[in-house]
Amino acid sequence: MGKLISLINVTPDGFFDSQYVNANAEFHEFVHMLLAGAHSVGFGRNSFELFQQIWPTVLANPDSPESQSRMAQALNDINKIAFSTTLKETTWANSSIEILDVALIDKMKEDQDKNLLTIGSPGLVGELTRLGLVDEYYFSVQSVIAGGGNSRMFAGQSLPQRQPLQFVDSRSLASGVQILHYRKP
């Protein structure tokens, strides 16, 4: 049985904007480890459109750094799901558009030996958390105080109750990024 695992980047002051992510080769290797255990990657509309704009271009550029090329290839090859009610089409290989539905997520978990991984997508992760569907979180704490940004998890949302997490482990990257791994108890 698979799990729903969320990888989300955050600054120490609580911003989830992609502009603050230090995505170097070491970080890409960490993401590859998560992708290896996944059958699909889920995104909210904004993150999907951002990734769809960036990664196919990296893949097509023979001068891209090796770690970026490997990441672009891995993201190209894996099944991708854009959870959206407004997105009408996708141009990215192996992509589909779905409406977020508890039954769909539960079926994916039951039918797969591998995991559904979400990357970024704070609005999606917030809603999945509110619905109690996320099994594990990887918070990639970036080494920058943003001082502002566009996105905070649970902005405009509230959880019906507190959701305690169990600490699993942490990893320090040379860039100063700290990856904190939690699971639902």
User: Per-residue pLDDT tens for 113-167?
Assistant: 999 999 999 999 999 999 999 999 999 999 999 988 777 777 777 778 889 999 9
CA distance 115 to 138: 14
101 belongs to a structural domain: yes
CATH code (residue 108): 3.40.430.10
153 belongs to a structural domain: no
Identify the pLDDT of residue 28. 96
154 belongs to a structural domain: no
CA distance 37 to 5: 10
Domain count across the chain: 1
Q: Which pTM value belongs to this model?
A: 0.94
**Which domain range does residue 100 map to?**
25-146+159-173
Identify the pLDDT of residue 175. 96
